[in-house]
């Protein structure tokens, strides 16, 4: 019968290794894609706005936001800090790693339970057979 291979056992990779693999390998790729989408949306608004009444003001605001984004060191993120969406994405990946480890532990527990039940049933049958043989000798 095998032991339960839980977190940190020799057969499962250590948590720190799993977490290192879930670090953002793209270096803020999501932020770059979102930035390009925002640029395109602001450019589209600035191009279409003059057609509508009062659109000059909207066009000027869109162009101002584009310039602000281009000149500020952190883009339009508050205080120039790292992107919260990237951090949330990293936390979701860590959660997936923990969920997979928990699922592996559950699977191993079920396998051990099946082995124990099988062994218990075999021992019961063996005992009942021996008991019946002894009772047949006495009769």
Q: pLDDT per position in the chain (139 positions), as tens? A: 444 554 444 454 444 444 444 444 555 677 778 778 878 888 887 787 777 787 777 778 877 877 877 776 555 555 444 577 788 888 999 999 999 999 999 999 999 999 999 999 999 999 999 999 999 988 6
CA-atom Rg of the chain in angstroms: 32
d(CA 31, CA 76): 11
Residues in the chain, total: 139
Which pTM was predicted?
A: 0.38
Q: Are 55 and 28 in contact (CB under 8 A)?
A: no
């Amino acid at each position: 019968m095998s032991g339960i291979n839980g977190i940190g056992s020799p057969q499962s990779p250590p948590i720190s290794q799993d977490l290192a693999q879930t670090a953002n390998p793209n270096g803020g790729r999501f932020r770059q894609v979102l930035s390009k989408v925002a640029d395109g949306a602001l450019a589209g608004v600035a191009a279409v706005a003059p057609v509508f009444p009062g659109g000059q003001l909207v066009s000027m605001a869109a162009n101002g936001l584009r310039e602000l984004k281009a000149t500020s060191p952190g883009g339009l993120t508050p205080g120039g800090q790292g992107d919260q969406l990237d951090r949330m994405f990293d936390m979701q990946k860590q959660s997936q790693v923990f969920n997979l480890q928990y699922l592996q532990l559950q699977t191993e527990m079920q396998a051990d339970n099946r082995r124990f039940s099988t062994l218990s049933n075999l021992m019961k049958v063996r005992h009942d057979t021996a008991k019946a043989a002894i009772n047949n000798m006495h009769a």
